[in-house]
Amino acid sequence: MDGPTLTILEGSTFCICDEAGDIGTNETSGFFDEDVRFLSAFRLTVDGSRPLLLSSKKVEHFSASFYLRNPPLDRLPQDTLLISRERSVGTGMEEHVVVTNETQETVSFELGIELEVDFADLFVVKDRDFALGSPDARPLPRPSKPEPTRTGPLVFRDASETSYVTQVTFSREGEVDGTRIRFPVELPARGSWRLRINVHPSELDNGQRLPAPAEIEASFTTGLELARDSLEAWQHRMPRLRAPRPALQLTFDRSLNDLASLRLRHPELLRNLPAAGMPWFMTLFGRDTLITCLQTMMLGPETARDALVALAELQARTDDPEIDAEPGKIIHELRRGKAAASWFPRYYGTVDATPLFLILVSELWRWTGDEAALRELEAPARRALAWIDDYGDRDGDGFVEYERRTPRGLANQSWKDSGTSQRFADGRLAQTPIAPCEVQGYVYDAKRRMAELARELWHDPALAARLDAEAAELQRRFDEAYWLDRRGGYYALALDREKRPVDSLCSNIGHLLWSGIVPDERAAAIVDRLTGEGLWSGWGIRTMSEEDAAYNPLSYHNGSVWPHDNSLVAAGLARYGRHPELCRLAGRLIEGAAYFDHQLPEVFAGVRLSDAAFPIPYPTPGKPQAWAAATPILLLQLVLGLTPDRATRALVTRTTEPLPSWLEGTSLSGMRAFGKSWDARVEDNAVIVEEVER
C-alpha cells in the first residue's frame, strides 16, 4: 500500500483508509465485507479540496477518529474550520462528520462526499498489494454507477450478475452529481454543522427489498452495542498482567486487544474464533487458528474448544481433488462472497493442519481434563489419524508429503506456503511431492499425544501401543533421512520428490524441538544452529540462514523473521531445557515489538542487528495477525515455566532457572486451567503460582 494507512475491523467487516480517513488514495484501500469491496473510494472535500490532517487514531478496534483543518481557499482562510470524522464498522460503516467554524465571522463553503463502488473480489484487490502483487493480476472491475437520485440516498448495484448492493444514506439532503454529493453550508461564528453517513452492504435474493435508512441506522446501532458488550465481556475474562517493564506490559496488552479485534462474528459455527489476520485473511484458516489456540491456552480453553468443534465440523468427509480434500483432512481456508467463486468456498490444501488439530485436542485435555469434550472429539481425532496414514503418506515411505491435486491450489502447502520457499542451499527450487521436516515432527508429537488419550480416556490400549510404536519408528527413520552432518549438523528443510534432503538451513528445525522428535544427543547442535550467526539476526531467528544462496532479509519466507515461528522455536527451547536461549529470544522479540508500536507484525526483515539500530519492517506485513499477536502470550508462559499438571489438576511452574531481570516484580492474574483461576508472580527471582477464588 502507498503511504500510511489506518484499519478498523469488526469480524470480517473492515475498512482500510489513509490517515485522513479517505478511501481510494491507493488501490488496496476500501470498505470490505464478506470478502467483497463494497466501497472503493470515499473522499471528503471542502470547496473541492482535501482537508489537511491534524491527527488520527483508532479508538477501539472497530472505530477511529480523524481531525482535520481546511487548507487556504478562496472563501476560507487556512484553519477556519476544524473537521472531525468519527467512524465505526460493524453491520456496515457509519461516520459522523462535525465541522466547526473556529472564527468570529460567518463563513460559507461546500462540503463534498465523493464515492466509488467497484464490488471487487478480495483476491483481485490483494494482487495489488506490494508483497503479494502479480504482474498477471486480473484488472479491477469498472466502478458501478449509482441509481438516479437528486438528494440521496445513493444506491450502487453490482454490474455483474450478482446481487451485491451498497447503500449510502445521509442524515441531511444534499445535491447529487453522479457519484458526488454536495452540501452547501453556512456557519455562524463558533457554529457547528453535523452529518451522519451510513454505508450498508447487502447481498439480496431475488425480490428482496432494500432496507430503509432508518432500518440501516437502527441495525448498525444495535450491532455496535453488541460489539462493545462482547469486547467488554471478553476483556473481563482475560488474565491481567502487571509488569514493571513498560515494553512487556504494553506488548501484552496490545496482543490481547489485537486478538479481540480478530474475532469472527458469524456464521454461528465460527463465532469468536480468531481470523488469521488483516487485511486479506479475515476468515478461518485451519493452520493459523490451531497455532493461535496453542499459543494462547493460558488465556482460557474456550477458544481452543470452539476451534476444535468448528474444524471437526468442517473436516473433509470425501475425496475431492478439486479442493485438495481427503477424508479426515482439516480445512485450510474458508471464503465467502466473490472470493469463494474465484478461489474456493472451502479449500483443504494444507499438510500440517491435520496433525496440529490432534496436538490441540491433546492440549485441551492437558489444560482442562474435560472428558466430555474429549469424547466428542474422539471420532474426528481418529479420522485425522487415519488421514495421516492413508492420505498424508502418499507413497507409503512413512513420511507425510504434499502435492496439490487441483491446478488452482497452493503449490506449497506447509506454513511457508509461498511459491519460492522450498529451496536447496544452492538456491534451486525443490519439486513436489515435498515432505517438510516440521510436519514429520508434528506427526510424531500427534501420535505420542493420541497414544496418551487412547490409553487414559478412550480405553483403547491397542491403539495406544500402535501409535507409540509408530512414533518411535518415525523418530528413528526421520533422523536417518533428514540429518545432515554439514555446518556442524542440522536437519534438512524437507525431502523432495526424489527423496533428496532439501539442504537449506531454516528456522523449521526449531519446530522439531517443539515436537520432541529430536533425540537428546542432537539437541545441542540444533540449538547452536538456531542461535548462530546464520539464523540469528539479533532480533529473532530468520526463516533461512544468510549462508544459503536464496537468503534475502526481505524475502517473505527466505530470510525474514516471523514472530509466531520464533514462538514455536521458543517452545522447543523450553522443552529441551535451554532456558538461557529461551529468555534471550523472548526478551529480544518483546524489546523489538516496541519499534512496531508494541504490535508484533506478521513478519519483519531479517536484517542483522549490527547493521541496523532497530528491527526493519517488512514492506507490507499483515497487522494485526493472529499468531503474531499470540506470540507474546506464549513467550510469557514459557519464560515463567507455566505448565498444566493433569495429575494434580493444577497450574504449576517447571522453571528452576534464573529468570531475566525484566521479569522481576511481574504478576499475572486470572489464568484459567482445570476450571479454576490461577495467579502467578515473580518474587526474588522465583515464580510463585497459586490457586485463587474468583
Grid cell listed for 638: 514459557
Q: How far is CA 652 from the centre of its chain?
A: 29
Q: How far apart are CA 647 and CA 351, in angstroms?
A: 33
Q: How far apart are CA 195 and CA 69, in angstroms?
A: 17
In this prediction, residue 266 carries a pLDDT of 65
- Report the side by side order of strands in the sheet with 435-436: 435-436, 494-495, 501-502
Q: Model's pTM, two decimal places?
A: 0.93
One-letter amino acid for residue 599 of the chain: Q
End-to-end CA distance of the chain: 46
With H, G, I as helix, E, B as strand and everything else as coil, classify residue 284: coil
> Cis before residue 433, ω within 30 degrees of 0?
yes
Q: Which residues contact 163 (CB under 8 A, 6 or more apart)?
A: 202, 203, 204, 205, 206
Sign of the C-alpha dihedral computed for residues 22, 23, 24 and 26 taken in this order: positive
* Consecutive H or E run containing 643: strand 642-645
Q: From the DSSP assignment, how many helices (H) and strands (E) are in the chain?
A: 17, 28
Nearest to 264 by CA among 220, 310, 203, 197: 310
In this prediction, residue 11 carries a pLDDT of 84
Which residues are bridge partners to 678 per DSSP?
671, 691
Q: Which residues contact 11 (CB under 8 A, 6 or more apart)?
A: 263, 264, 265, 266, 275, 282
Rounded mean pLDDT for each run of 10 residues along the chain, 694 residues in total:
80 93 92 94 96 95 96 95 96 96 96 95 83 68 88 85 89 92 96 96 80 87 86 90 95 94 78 87 94 97 94 97 97 90 92 98 96 95 97 95 94 95 97 98 98 96 98 98 96 97 98 98 98 95 97 94 98 97 96 94 92 84 89 97 95 91 94 95 94 86
Q: How far apart are CA 298 and CA 240, in angstroms?
A: 12
All structural domains of the chain, each given as residue ranges with its CATH number in brackets, are: 5-228 (2.70.98.40), 243-320+352-635 (1.50.10.10)
In this prediction, residue 18 carries a pLDDT of 95
Q: How far apart are CA 203 and CA 231, in angstroms?
A: 27
- 3-state SS of the chain: helix, strand, coil percent to 5? 35, 25, 40
Kindly report each contact of residues 484-493 with a partner whose C-beta sits within 8 Å and lies 24 or more positions away, as own/partner: 487/529, 487/534, 487/547, 488/525, 488/528, 488/529, 488/532, 489/522, 489/525, 489/529, 490/525, 490/526, 490/529, 491/437, 491/518, 491/526, 492/437, 493/422, 493/423, 493/430, 493/436, 493/437
Q: Which residues contact 370 (CB under 8 A, 6 or more apart)?
A: 301, 305, 364
In this prediction, residue 392 carries a pLDDT of 97
Nearest to 332 by CA among 394, 407, 412: 412
Grid cell listed for 598: 508494541
Q: Cβ(667)–Cβ(644) under 8 Å?
A: no
